C-alpha cells in the first residue's frame, strides 16, 4: 500500500512540476535568446521529470549520433513517456511533432508551444503537407523528432509506418537516425495513469538511407527489437 502511494506521489509530481518549472525557466531565459531558453528548458524538464518518476535510461549503439545536427530522429512509440525520454537524449536544437489534442493540455500544451512543437491532427497523418514547415528548421541546423507509426502502440508491437519521415529525409538531405525504445511501454502502459520506476533500454542505430520503403524502415526497428 505504501509502495503504491509513493509511486502515485512520484508520478503526480513528475507530471506537474517539470512543465511548471519549464515554463517559468523559458520566460526568465527568453531575453537571452529563444534557442538558449528552449535548450535549457528541455534539459531541466526532462532531467527533473525522469528523476521524479524514477526512470533511468540505458542507452547503447551509436550514441554519438544524438549530437548530430541537422538530423531526423525517428522513434517507435510505445508510451506517453516517449517524448520526455527522447527529448532527454536529443536535448538541444530540436523540433518535435505532437498530436493535436496535446496543445489543449493545461500543463503540457503551453510548454510544448513555447518549445515550438508542431501539432498534428491524427486524421491528417504525418505526410508532406504537415512536414513541409519543418524543412526550414532542418536547413537552419535543427533536429526533428517524430514517430513514423503516427500514434502509440497499444501492445508494444510495431504499427505500420507512414512515409513522412522518409519524405523529410529525401527533401532535406538530413540523416535519418532510428532511436529504438525497447520497453518504455512498461513504464507507462497505453491505458495507464501512473509512471512506474524502472530502466528503459534504448538503442541508437546507424543512419538509414532515405531510399528505404516504409516497410523496410519498419523492419529496421523490428530487427533491433
- pLDDT tens column, 66-76: 999 999 999 99
CB distance 180 to 205 below 8 Å: yes
112-130 per-position pLDDT tens digit: 998 888 888 766 666 677 7
Average pLDDT, the chain: 89
CB distance 222 to 78 below 8 Å: no
Q: Which three cell numbers stand for residue 25?
A: 525557466
Q: What Cα–Cα distance (Å) separates residue 93 from each residue in 28, 63, 103, 189?
A: 19, 17, 20, 29
pLDDT value of position 14: 86
CA-based nearest residue to 149, from 209, 58, 222: 222
pTM for this prediction: 0.90
Percent of the chain clearing pLDDT 70 (strictly above): 96
Residues near 62 by beta carbon (within 8 Å), at least 6 away in sequence = 177, 204, 205, 206
50-108 per-position pLDDT tens digit: 999 999 999 999 999 999 999 999 999 998 889 899 999 999 999 988 888 888 988 88
Percent of the chain clearing pLDDT 90 (strictly above): 60
Structural domains of the chain in order of their starting residue, each with its CATH number:
55-224 (3.40.1130.10)
Amino acid at each position: 500500500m505504501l509502495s503504491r502511494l509513493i509511486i502515485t506521489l512520484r508520478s503526480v509530481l513528475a507530471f506537474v512540476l517539470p512543465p511548471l518549472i519549464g515554463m517559468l525557466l523559458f520566460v526568465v531565459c527568453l531575453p537571452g535568446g529563444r534557442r538558449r531558453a528552449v535548450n535549457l528548458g528541455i534539459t531541466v524538464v526532462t532531467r527533473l521529470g525522469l528523476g521524479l518518476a524514477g526512470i533511468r535510461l540505458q542507452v547503447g549503439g551509436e550514441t554519438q549520433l544524438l549530437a548530430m545536427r541537422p538530423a531526423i530522429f525517428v522513434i517507435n512509440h510505445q508510451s506517453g513517456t516517449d517524448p520526455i525520454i527522447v527529448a532527454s537524449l536529443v536535448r538541444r536544437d530540436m523540433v518535435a511533432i505532437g498530436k493535436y489534442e496535446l496543445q489543449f493540455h493545461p500543463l503540457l500544451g503551453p510548454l510544448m508551444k513555447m518549445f515550438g512543437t508542431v501539432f498534428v491532427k491524427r486524421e491528417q497523418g504525418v505526410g508532406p503537407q504537415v512536414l513541409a514547415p519543418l524543412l526550414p528548421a532542418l536547413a537552419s541546423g535543427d533536429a526533428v523528432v517524430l514517430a513514423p507509426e503516427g500514434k502509440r502502440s497499444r501492445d508494444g508491437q510495431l504499427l505500420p509506418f507512414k512515409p513522412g519521415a522518409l519524405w523529410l529525409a529525401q527533401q532535406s538531405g538530413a540523416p535519418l537516425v532510428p532511436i529504438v525504445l525497447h520497453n518504455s511501454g512498461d513504464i507507462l502502459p497505453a491505458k495507464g495513469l501512473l509512471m512506474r520506476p524502472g530502466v528503459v533500454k534504448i538503442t541508437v542505430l546507424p543512419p538509414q538511407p532515405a531510399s528505404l520503403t516504409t516497410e523496410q524502415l519498419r523492419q529496421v526497428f523490428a530487427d533491433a527489437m
